[in-house]
């Protein structure tokens, strides 16, 4: 796979990052994952704004990045798609603090490391999945709203718990707060539909304000669809007509079953058949078409 690192496109096996990079040493960095439709990045400006906000929180000079604006990012995405012979791809853009001799810094990070890595899209990303309640709790971030940090230990713990259950590929784990409230998936945000109203856990320092989540709520507001951001527990899932997840690569992901921490089935329904879910899914698809249009060339 060809990737972008600090101004160069090169084979990934040739890409190296400094041993003194504070992203490696201290977890000082942030990333965004997004995808292209017809060769164009969807909601890229929203992703970059969130990344910039994270960098500013720990004094990484975001203005010193090269790919940090949409006009600069787009041609590099096109070049990477071509270099890897991919019509579309998922991309991870990482900005870390960069090489910094010595211990903790006494001033801002002025030479950030930039890494942009594509990966092929899965053909099964829109299929219904099962959701598994994890015993790993979602921790509280140092910042509110929660940034998308390269410090990913909490999510990795949830991910490996999910793997240990030998779940089906594509299934997701749901993480609760220490007091038992619904938070989010390992790599997704959670939504419930009940009586035509869309419900989602409100953003706190434990919940990432996902770009797709925010975009979907904006669509609901603009179309005057009933929606609530609130506090929910597992008991609120039982009367739900549909359950679905969102993330920036897979979009809207219908859930067909929810299993508890003891692997007991606590909810079951094919959310892909729910009319309200399908309405939201069509709205999302129309927006991708309107914003990303037809393929380049």
Kindly calculate the radius of gyration of the chain based on its CA atoms and give it in whole angstroms. 20
| Mean of pLDDT values over 196-223 | 96
Mean pLDDT score, 243-248: 98
CB 95, CB 30: distance < 8 Å: yes
pTM of the model: 0.95
| Backbone φ, ψ for residue 192 (5° rounding) | -120, 145
The pLDDT value recorded for residue 197 is 97
Mean pLDDT value across residues 67-82: 96
Q: Which of the two residues, 74 and 122, has the higher pLDDT score? A: 74
Residue 126: per-residue pLDDT: 73
Quote the pLDDT of residue 123.
Answer: 77
Burial class, 134, CB count within 10 angstroms (exposed 0-12 / middle 13-18 / buried 19+): buried
> CB of 195 within 8 A of CB of 244?
no
Q: Are 48 and 248 in contact (CB under 8 A)?
A: no
Enter the tokens of residue 61. Answer: 């000079």
User: What average pLDDT score do residues 216-220 get?
Assistant: 96
Domains of the chain: 2-119 (3.30.470.10), 129-289 (3.20.10.10)
**Degrees to nearest 5, angle at CA 228 with 227 and 234:** 115
Structure tokens at 230: 């609130």
Inform me whether the pLDDT recorded for 295 exceeds 60.
no
Q: Is the pLDDT of residue 32 over 50?
A: yes
Report the pLDDT averaged over residues 166-179: 96
Structure confidence at residue 294 as a pLDDT band (50, 70, 90): low
pLDDT band at 297 (very low <50, low <70, confident <90, very high): very low
Identify the three-state secondary structure at position 22.
Answer: helix
User: At residue 58, does pLDDT exceed 90?
Assistant: yes
How high is the mean pLDDT of the chain? Answer: 95
Token output for 76? 């590099």
* Residue 255 reports pLDDT greater than 50: yes
Cis peptide before 229 (omega within 30 of 0): no
Q: How far is CA 119 from the centre of its chain?
A: 15
Rounded Cα–Cα distance for residues 211 and 191 (Å):
14
User: Which whole number is the average pLDDT over 125-143?
Assistant: 93
Residues 29 and 95: beta-carbon distance below 8 Å = yes
3-state secondary structure 99-154: ECCCCCCCCCECCCEEEEEEECCCCCCCCCEEEEECCCCCCCCCCCCCCCECCCHH
What would the mean pLDDT of 139-153 be, rounded to a whole number? 93
Angle at 67 between CA 42 and CA 155, to 5 degrees: 65
């Amino acid at each position: 796979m060809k990737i972008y690192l600090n101004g160069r496109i090169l084979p990934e096996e040739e890409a190296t990052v400094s041993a003194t990079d504070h992203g490696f040493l201290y977890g000082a960095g942030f990333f965004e994952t997004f995808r292209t439709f017809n060769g164009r990045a969807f909601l890229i400006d929203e992703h970059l704004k969130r990344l910039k906000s994270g960098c500013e929180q720990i004094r990484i000079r975001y203005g010193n990045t090269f790919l940090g604006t949409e006009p600069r990012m787009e041609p590099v995405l096109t070049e990477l798609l071509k270099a890897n012979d991919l019509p579309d791809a998922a991309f991870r853009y990482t900005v870390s603090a960069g090489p910094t001799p010595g211990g903790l810094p006494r001033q801002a990070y002025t030479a950030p490391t930039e890494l942009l890595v594509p990966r092929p899209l899965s053909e099964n990303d829109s299929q219904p999945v099962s959701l598994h309640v994890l015993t790993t709790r979602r921790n509280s971030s140092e910042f509110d709203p929660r940034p998308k940090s390269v410090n990913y230990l909490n999510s990795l713990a949830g991910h490996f718990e999910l793997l240990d259950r030998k779940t089906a590929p594509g299934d997701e784990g749901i993480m609760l707060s220490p007091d038992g409230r619904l938070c989010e998936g390992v790599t997704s945000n959670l939504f419930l539909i009940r009586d035509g109203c869309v419900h989602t856990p409100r953003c706190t320092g434990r919940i990432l304000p996902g770009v797709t989540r925010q975009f979907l709520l904006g669509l609901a507001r603009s179309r005057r669809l009933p929606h609530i951001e609130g506090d929910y527990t597992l008991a609120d899932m039982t009367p739900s007509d549909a359950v679905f997840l969102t993330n920036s690569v897979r979009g809207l992901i219908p859930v067909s079953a929810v299993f508890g921490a003891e692997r007991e089935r606590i909810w079951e329904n094919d959310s892909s058949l729910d009319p309200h879910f399908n309405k939201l899914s069509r709205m999302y698809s129309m927006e991708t078409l309107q914003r990303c249009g037809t393929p380049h060339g």
